[in-house]
Amino acid sequence: MRGALAAALLLCGCPPPPERRPDAPVTPPVSQPAAPKPDAEPRAVAERFLAAAEKGEWAAVLPLLARPLRERYSADRLGEDFKREPLAKDRLAKLRAALPSAFAVEGDQARLPLEGAKAFRLVRERGAWFVAALE
């Protein structure tokens, strides 16, 4: 059988496969990495956003925001608004509680439902995910 395969390969101009010694170890086929879950990237952005916001690291939060928010805020103003908003810490707590749940990803939008019919929303800009809202 091997001779027939080698002859067929030679006829089509392909070199025959190299001979394998009977005692040579067989290398298993390389498995392909699992495709990432559709919500893996939005989840990673949500985790970075939450970690930075909980620590009050507004300079780290700012680049995670969608363009309209980045254009409207500075890191200082973001921190001031967070301090003034009475529900801000509660919204972060709801986001933390919801993180184990699945994001609904549709096109360039990702949504994580939060307690109380609210949501954490992300948008894809230039191929990357950014925070659009924490309701």
Structural domains in the chain, sorted by start:
40-134 (3.10.450)
Q: Mean pLDDT score of the chain, rounded to an integer?
A: 84
For residue 16, pLDDT beyond 80: no
For 87, other C-beta atoms within 10 Å of its C-beta total 11
Confidence of residue 40 (pLDDT cuts 50, 70, 90): confident
Q: What does the pLDDT look like over 59-113, one tens digit per residue?
A: 999 999 999 999 999 999 999 999 999 999 999 999 999 999 999 999 999 999 9
Which pLDDT score is estimated for 97? 96
Which pLDDT score is estimated for 9? 44
- 115 against 15, higher pLDDT: 115
- 36 against 112, higher pLDDT: 112
Confidence of residue 117 (pLDDT cuts 50, 70, 90): confident
Q: Within a 13 Å sphere around the CA of 95, how many CA atoms are in the beta-carbon half? A: 27
| Rg (alpha carbons) of the chain, rounded to whole number | 26
Three-state secondary structure string covering 75-114: HHHHHHHHHHCCCHHHHHHHHHHHCCCCCEEECCEEEEEE
Prediction pTM value: 0.72
Tell me the CA distances in angstroms from 132 to 21, 66, 70, 90, one per residue in order.
60, 5, 10, 18
Which pLDDT score is estimated for 28? 60
Which pLDDT score is estimated for 14? 54
For residue 4, pLDDT beyond 70: no
